[in-house]
């Protein structure tokens, strides 16, 4: 009866942080505690073995299965991991629900570094895709306009405007009067201004606009 009372009291005290048993009772073979405490760079995270083992090949899964990794533990029995706790939250949340959620001030590069350390393949791919998309948005230079001025006679004008292709756009027409005499008939001369957009890709080569398809 006395032991039962002590255990219940202890359970109430430890309820918020997960029950930690201080006396050694050999657990039946094959059963492991459901809750796992991780001390990442001085910050303690509480999670379940099931969450950590979502990604079978990850360091965290191997750690809590205790197969190959003999990890040090702190005085509370939490696994000690010498990594930055700032980026561990998104890693743990990804294992919980499969989505990458970052605060606006959190650098995705930092989370990528940790995802690579913990060997969480799907998360590495998600972050790399997101970084590529961000780079694409940032480095896409606004289009440059190239202008050409073409001189033509009135009778050639319609044909020239109608045959413009390859992204050239008609901008302006300037009448420069009758500068030449052909026989008895004056031909009105025009300057025709056309423009084309050139897209600069980050490597300095001009290219037509293209958009990365979102997966």
Average pLDDT rounded to a whole number, residues 44-58: 91
Domains and CATH numbers, the chain: 35-138 (3.30.710.10), 144-198 (3.30.70.2000)
66-105 burial by CB neighbour count: b if 16+ within 10 A, else e?
Answer: eeeeeeeeeeeebbebebebebbbbbbbbbeeeebebeee
* Closest of 123, 167, 126, 128 to residue 144, by C-alpha: 167
Question: What span, in angstroms and rounded, lies between the C-alpha atoms of 27 and 33?
Answer: 9
CA 85 to chain centre: 20
127 φ/ψ sector (left φ>0, alpha ψ -120 to 50, else beta): alpha
Name residue, tokens 């099931």: 50
In this predicted structure, what is the pLDDT of residue 85? 94
Give the residue with greater pLDDT, 86 vs 146. 86
* 62: pLDDT strictly greater than 90: no
pLDDT value for 110: 93
Q: What is the C-alpha to C-alpha distance for residues 171 and 11, in angstroms, rounded to an integer?
A: 80
Q: What is the pLDDT of residue 46?
A: 94
Confidence (pLDDT) at 42: 92
- pTM tops 0.85, yes or no: no
Mind listing the pLDDT tens digit for each residue in 159-201? Answer: 777 777 777 888 888 888 765 555 556 678 888 888 888 766 5
Residues 89-116 pLDDT 10s: 999 999 999 999 988 888 899 999 999 9
SS3 at position 47: strand
Chain-centre distance for alpha carbon 172: 44
């Amino acid at each position: 009866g006395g032991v039962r009372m002590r255990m219940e009291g202890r359970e109430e005290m430890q309820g918020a942080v997960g029950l930690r048993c201080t006396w050694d009772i050999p657990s039946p073979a094959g059963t492991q505690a459901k809750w796992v405490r991780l001390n990442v760079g001085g910050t303690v995270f509480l999670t379940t073995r099931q969450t950590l083992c979502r990604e079978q090949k990850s360091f965290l899964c191997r750690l809590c299965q205790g197969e190959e990794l003999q990890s040090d533990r702190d005085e509370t029995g939490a696994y000690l991991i010498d990594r930055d706790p700032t980026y561990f939250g998104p890693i743990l949340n990804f294992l919980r629900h499969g989505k990458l959620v970052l605060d606006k001030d959190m650098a995705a590069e930092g989370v990528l570094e940790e995802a690579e350390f913990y060997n969480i393949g799907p998360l590495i791919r998600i972050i790399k895709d997101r970084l590529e998309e961000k780079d694409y948005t940032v480095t896409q230079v606004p289009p440059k306009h190239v202008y050409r001025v073409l001189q033509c006679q009135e009778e050639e004008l319609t044909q020239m405007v109608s045959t413009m292709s390859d992204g050239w756009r008609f901008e302006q027409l300037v009448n420069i009067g009758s500068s030449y005499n052909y026989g008895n008939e004056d031909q009105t001369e025009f300057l025709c201004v056309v423009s084309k957009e050139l897209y600069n890709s980050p490597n300095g080569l001009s290219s037509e606009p293209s958009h990365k398809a979102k997966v």
